[in-house]
Chains A and B, each alone.
Chain A
């Protein structure tokens, strides 16, 4: 019950809460006031009633005096007006007497009142006899009767006085009790109204404060946020009123703003990184293109010429020449065609085959070339022109000037999702510092400078393109046991290129 009411209170609107906060004390004060008004009014009515009997008894005594005086006046003057006054006074007296009800005033008072009633009856009878005797001119009779009425009148006045006095004493004591009670009630009324008023003010103040405090905190938080500080204190309101709604909305708004800022920041970062990659790639491609252009002087003229040479050789029946020229034409065509695109490993190996053939024709079969290929990875795509430059490097710097028979072994295998392309020679080998310089890219200039004997694509270029293509740095390994021990280049490319790497390409 309590929980349900609390829940209802928490979910109530601010207007409802404020209304309850004002109406509840107001109703209470109203009830207390009404109760006090009724109580005090009842007491005032009783105060009014207190002396009613005294007033009636005074009137009775006055009527009796008037009656006695009227009778005396009639006896003295026998005037009609005096007689009229007498009868009127008699009637008034009887009415006044009949109107008195003292049946609830205690036995003593009631007995005395009974005495007064009976004495009045006797008195009125005697007075009537006196008047009758006067009218009948019975002088003796009315004189003696009058004497009797004088005594009776005196006794009656005494009895009325005694009754009035006893009632007055009792009423005065009642009045004192009522008056002191009224004073107490007055005091209590003032105190309770003062107390409830103070409690009311405190409750309204505290409630208003507790209701507006979240708004104040919220406005402070809003100012902070407006100033750019998101580390703000958001007031917690569990209820369902408007302030709670605003607080929660503000809190959610803050969270959203922060999330968006975070997203934008990471997006900008990514974009700048991407742009950086693109620029690097573009530079490298431009370099490759430049070198390619330098190396290919009018390639179409060269292909046409080579084709013409091939046809001439065929016509002359020189098969070896035909094959040689064909291989050479294919080699240069591949260079032209694939320089901007990636290629399959199979295409790359085919190019190496053609290159080694050409070299062996050139150097009369000095290069012993062998290959060990895992056919399942032949369709994996790699940047074009990555194996041939390495083979070219192995020929030019590895086995060209050696005294022993030069071998170049190409091996394609796979390991943990990577394709391993190994080009191994048994040439003069490389020193550690040379290997480091190549892998760190410092030797790129040296290699590319000597492009007169090559097709123009250096090792540094190969490594950079591989790194951009795969999106990782660990793309090549150079192994050499030292001078005369040969060199092995191992290219490591993933079997499947990740999306980021795709983007970079």
Chain B
């Protein structure tokens, strides 16, 4: 008679093992849950309150959206400059989200008692009145591109239209290359709200520079004003020019990037490449490509960086010193086929490299 012992079955040890293993599994699960919850909570960091930068001055940027590419570059440069000065530049049109006119935005900016306004738009009497009201209330006003000469604005930042005319004249010379100018016609497309003085300056500069000691013969120069108040009018107006086949200009000078793009598209659509030469305005990918393909003969590049920074500098100067330059010119240069090709190459290399 003997007793057998189940030696390999120590139940106490077994229960201990189950308890430890089970507890460890559950703790691990709890820790994993904690980590997952933390990870999910981290994703909520994206909805943390946005940082509010404390600024000394509050400037409003007002521009009619007729040249979004140009103003986007100018706004970026202005914002950078403002940030450097500890100021905040508010793109009022974009912030309000509605299609306000520059005049409405100007009124809102004045009523909002901002510290400075950068304005680009029409130059009506109402606008001049609002600018005067702003100046009276101590708000600095810098006008961009199209000057509001009748107002008390502190500063005008823009092109030297005479210099622009000179550049156009040079392009015309190059285009005609000794041909008889008397048979040729030049159409200058300008904004409807551009002052007479400005457009006259361009025409005068062209004529001054085309006139030579040998010949007094001038091409026919026509100034076409595009109504900026009427939406889509630019495209329609330019198409109309091309439809008048008997009266087609030989050269089109566009004083606006939108007009340049419209003219370019029309030349292609009506198969008039080479027949109508276009001298454009502003440099963006489309225009640069067109110059490279020689659909557009050349384009006038505006230094948007300088333009943007200059207007903020003027405001800052006015706020701090009580006065500033009443005119700050913006550098311009011609981009012809060779330069356009080089610029495209550089851009490609930059993108690849």
Contact = CB atoms under 8 A, between A and B. Distances in A.
Contacts of A181: 40-41, 43-44
B271 interface: no
A184 B53 CA distance: 34
A177 B47 contact: yes
A104 B114 contact: no
Nearest to A180: B43
A235 B3 contact: no
A238 B37 contact: no
B40 A185 contact: yes
A159 B30 contact: no
A400 B34 CA distance: 122
Interface in B297-325: none
A6 B16 contact: yes
Given A177-B46, A207-B18, A106 B26 contact: no
B274 interface: no
B18 A210 contact: yes
Contacts of B182: none
B245 to A, nearest CB: 47
A214 interface: yes
A17, A107, A119, A200 — most chain B CB neighbours (10 Å): A107
A112 B90 contact: yes
Interface in B238-280: none
Contacts of B40: 181, 184-185, 188
A36 to B, nearest CB: 7
9 contacts: A9-B12, A28-B26, A28-B27, A43-B44, A105-B52, A106-B49, A114-B112, A185-B40, A200-B26
Contacts of B108: 115, 119, 155, 158-159
Given A123-B111, A202-B22, 8 more contacts: A25-B23, A32-B33, A105-B50, A196-B29, A196-B30, A214-B11, A231-B4, A255-B3
A270 interface: no
Interface string B1-14: 11111110111111
Nearest to A25: B26
Interface string A164-188: 0110000001100110010011001
B113 A239 contact: no
B225 interface: no
Interface residues of A, number: 81
The 3 A-B residue pairs with the shortest CB-CB distance in the complex, in nearest-first order: A106-B50, A203-B22, A239-B12
Nearest to A208: B15
Interface in B129-145: none
Contact of A107 (B7, B33, B88, B104): B88
Nearest to B4: A233
Contacts of A199: 22, 25-26, 29
Nearest to A191: B33
Nearest to B53: A107
B107 A21 contact: no
Interface string A27-42: 0100110011001000
Contacts of A230: 1-3
Contact of B88 (A17, A31, A111): A111
A185 B37 contact: yes
A32 B1 contact: no
A109 B107 CA distance: 19
A216 to B, nearest CB: 10
A278 interface: no
A174 B47 contact: yes
Contact of A234 (B3, B11, B46, B49): B3
Given A39-B41, A114-B58, A162-B98, A104 B12 contact: no
B22 A32 contact: no
A232 B111 contact: no
B231 interface: no
Interface of A is mostly: helix
Interface of B: 1-7, 9-16, 18-19, 21-23, 25-27, 29-30, 32-34, 36-37, 40-41, 43-44, 46-47, 49-53, 55, 58, 88, 90, 95-98, 100, 104, 107-109, 111-114
A63 interface: no
A35 B58 contact: no
Contacts of A272: none
Nearest to B23: A24
Nearest to B55: A107
A155 B18 CA distance: 73
B223 to A, nearest CB: 35
A104 B12 CA distance: 61
Interface of B is mostly: helix
Contacts, number: 206
Contacts of A55: none
Contact of B37 (A36, A211, A234, A251): A36
Interface in A203-253: 203, 206-207, 210-211, 213-214, 217, 230-239, 241, 243-244, 251
A135 interface: no
Nearest to A171: B47
A230 B3 CA distance: 7
Given A108-B90, A115-B114, A232 B4 contact: yes
A233 B30 contact: no
Contacts of B5: 233-234, 236, 251
A17 B22 CA distance: 14
A237 B10 contact: yes
A192 interface: yes
A24 B37 contact: no
A152 interface: yes
A105 B49 contact: yes
Given A39-B37, A107-B88, A188-B33, A178 B44 contact: yes
A233 B6 contact: yes
Contacts of B34: 35
Nearest to A2: B20
B15 A17 contact: yes
A238 B4 contact: no
Contacts of B55: 107, 111
Contacts of A43: 44
A28 B28 CA distance: 11
Nearest to A118: B113
A254 interface: yes
Contacts of A338: none
B44, B104, B109 — most chain A CB neighbours (10 Å): B44
A217 B14 CA distance: 15
A320 interface: no
A222 B272 CA distance: 114
Nearest to B30: A32
Contacts of B16: 6, 9-10
B22 A25 contact: yes
A293 to B, nearest CB: 53
B15 A207 contact: yes
Nearest to A176: B47
B11 to A, nearest CB: 5
A238 B7 CA distance: 10
A360 interface: no
A162 B37 CA distance: 35
A24 B36 CA distance: 22
B60 to A, nearest CB: 8
Contacts of B52: 103-107, 109-110
A159 B107 CA distance: 12
A230 B26 CA distance: 44
A151 interface: yes
A1 to B, nearest CB: 13
